[in-house]
Amino acid sequence: MRQVFKERERTVLHFNVADFAVAVERVADCCLRNRPLIIAPFQAARAVVYDMSEEAYQDGVRKGMSLRQATRMCRGAALLPPREVLYQKAMKAFLKELQNYSPLIEAGQADGHFYVDVTGTHRLYGPAPDVGWRVRREVRTSLGINPIWTLGTSKLISKVASRVVKPVGEYIVSPGDEAAFLAPLAIDLLPGLSGRELERLQEFQLLTIGGLAKLSRHQLMVPFGERSYYLHAVSRGVDDSRVCCPVSGADSIDNAHSFEEDTNDHEEIESALADLVSRAGADLRQRKQVARRVGIWLRYSDGGQVVRQASSKRGTAEDFSLNKLALTALSRAWVRRTRIRYCRLVCDRLQRRSPQLPLFPELEQRQRGQRKVLGAMDSLRKRFGHEVIGVGRQYARENGAARSGHH
């Protein structure tokens, strides 16, 4: 007998802590609660704003603005350097609360954003609005932060709803109400639009989402090309993207390095990268997995951040191939002359290592040699720790070695 699967109406909760870094700093120091706050790496020569409080925002301060300009706009603001480790810790604590309600959680990068798919959890935890309210109450009690919570039938709808109520509040968009909810809203509330696209839409006097929704895909095709598909769908509240869990340890291997001092020395940065690669490679081999993509996250001394990736069709767990991918990603990410403060290496698109042997082993001789070396290094590391041995490029500049974090 043929079994028919029916797709359930989706229920997606979005939690968003407005000005997350500020919220965490204010929990850490309650004296900061009643004054405007700007978070920026102020030791850097050309620092830019990492985050700011609502008061500073009202005074015109924006993320990415130069610190000098920001302090001119909001003179009474307290200044703090960003503490990413603290924000990661707060994210983990928030995530732990959410895990009581759903296994399907998508978390942002230390920014206080979470999507939680609660489709089908009603039998265990009750109606979704109640879950949203409870999580907010629990997070408020345990962490002292007050997230926005919104509810919709997709990530898109819940995301737009959170932008509507920002900086505090909640919004429930009833199923079926998506298009009517979006129609009167300003077009810049739609996520995923580039500055150029927004300019273009304004040129056409398309100021509301409803205005955009009135146009057919063919009409949008002329000025926006391939992007017309996306614009057409989102303006009508259509979003099939799934809530995925990129933070799950099974899906990626994540290592980071913070430099003792901000640097733009190639040798030092590549040596730090080689160390991250060797850790990721060892981890992959231990799990009997291969990675098909390597991502590099660079944070500059002024707070700017760039993320770039490199991928290969055949997955790898070998340091030599991983390093090649990492260097490609680095060359794509490192486009400024500003010094680098922090570097993160994420290996994802993981899959099981194939047990099949190569068809032409003579072509793999060099690789077999490398594998033997890595195997020997892994055995030593297993016994004496990771630092006991490494490849030469890891030690290019000993004094550059600094804080490496293994997540």
Q: By CB under 8 A, which span of 4-12, 276-284, 356-364, 375-383 interacts with other proteins?
A: 4-12
The number of helices, as runs of H, and strands, as runs of E, in the chain is 15, 13
User: Would you say 171 or 259 has its CB closer to other proteins?
Assistant: 171
Q: Which amino acid is at 276?
A: L
| Number of residues engaging other proteins in binding (CB under 8 A) | 25
Q: Which of 400, 390, 398 has its CA nearest to residue 282?
A: 390
Contact 340, 269 (CB under 8 A): yes
User: Which of 130, 251, 261, 387 touches other proteins (CB under 8 A)?
Assistant: 130
Contacts of residues 230-234 at CB distance under 8 Å and 24 or more positions apart, as own/partner, are: 230/192, 231/193, 231/197, 234/156, 234/190, 234/191, 234/192
The β-bridge partners of 113 are 16
- Binding to other proteins by residue 142, rule CB under 8 A? no
- Binding to other proteins by residue 180, rule CB under 8 A? yes
Question: What are the C-alpha distances in Å from 191 to residues 204, 220, 378?
Answer: 19, 18, 44
Q: By CB under 8 A, which span of 6-14, 32-40, 44-52, 198-206 interacts with other proteins?
A: 6-14
Q: By CB under 8 A, which span of 3-11, 265-273, 296-304, 323-331 interacts with other proteins?
A: 3-11
Cβ at position 3, least distance to other proteins in Å: 14
Task: Tell me which residues in 200-239 interact with other proteins (CB under 8 A).
Answer: none
Cβ at position 319, least distance to other proteins in Å: 49
Cβ at position 228, least distance to other proteins in Å: 28
User: Would you say 149 or 300 has its CB closer to other proteins?
Assistant: 149
Contacts of 65 (CB under 8 A, 6+ apart): 48, 49
User: Which of 55, 83, 133, 308 touches other proteins (CB under 8 A)?
Assistant: 133
Buried b / exposed e across 281-309, counting CB within 10 Å, b at 16+? bbbbbeeebbbbbbbbbbbbbbbbeeebb
User: Would you say 174 or 354 has its CB closer to other proteins?
Assistant: 174
Angle at alpha carbon of residue 342, lines to 71 and 308, rounded to 5°: 105
Rounded to 5 degrees, what are φ and ψ at 38? -120, 130
Query: How is residue 115 annotated by DSSP?
Result: E
Name the burial class of residue 268, with classes exposed (0-12), middle (13-18) and buried (19+) by CB atoms within 10 angstroms of its CB: buried
- Binding to other proteins by residue 2, rule CB under 8 A? no
- Binding to other proteins by residue 11, rule CB under 8 A? yes
Contact 51, 39 (CB under 8 A): yes
Torsion angle (degrees, nearest 10) of CA 40, 44, 45, 51? -10
- Binding to other proteins by residue 33, rule CB under 8 A? no
User: Would you say 11 or 321 has its CB closer to other proteins?
Assistant: 11
Q: By CB under 8 A, which span of 125-133, 235-243, 302-310, 375-383 interacts with other proteins?
A: 125-133
Cβ at position 301, least distance to other proteins in Å: 42
Buried b / exposed e across 221-239, counting CB within 10 Å, b at 16+? beebeebbebbbebbbbeb
Which SS3 state, helix, strand or coil, does residue 83 take?
coil
User: Which of 1, 3, 8, 30 touches other proteins (CB under 8 A)?
Assistant: 8
User: Would you say 133 or 320 has its CB closer to other proteins?
Assistant: 133
User: Would you say 120 or 249 has its CB closer to other proteins?
Assistant: 120
- Binding to other proteins by residue 126, rule CB under 8 A? yes
- Binding to other proteins by residue 99, rule CB under 8 A? no
Task: Tell me which residues in 150-169 interact with other proteins (CB under 8 A).
Answer: 169
- Binding to other proteins by residue 132, rule CB under 8 A? yes
Q: Which two tokens stand for residue 40?
A: 């920026």
Q: By CB under 8 A, which span of 39-47, 177-185, 287-295, 345-353 interacts with other proteins?
A: 177-185
Q: Which two tokens stand for residue 367?
A: 């690789």
User: Would you say 133 or 230 has its CB closer to other proteins?
Assistant: 133
Contact 83, 41 (CB under 8 A): no
Contact 310, 285 (CB under 8 A): no
Q: By CB under 8 A, which span of 74-82, 124-132, 362-370, 372-380 interacts with other proteins?
A: 124-132
Q: By CB under 8 A, which span of 130-138, 214-222, 295-303, 381-389 interacts with other proteins?
A: 130-138
User: Which of 43, 99, 174, 331 touches other proteins (CB under 8 A)?
Assistant: 174
**Residues at the site binding other proteins, with contacts judged by CB under 8 A:** 6, 8-9, 11, 120, 122-127, 129-130, 132-133, 169-172, 174-177, 180-181
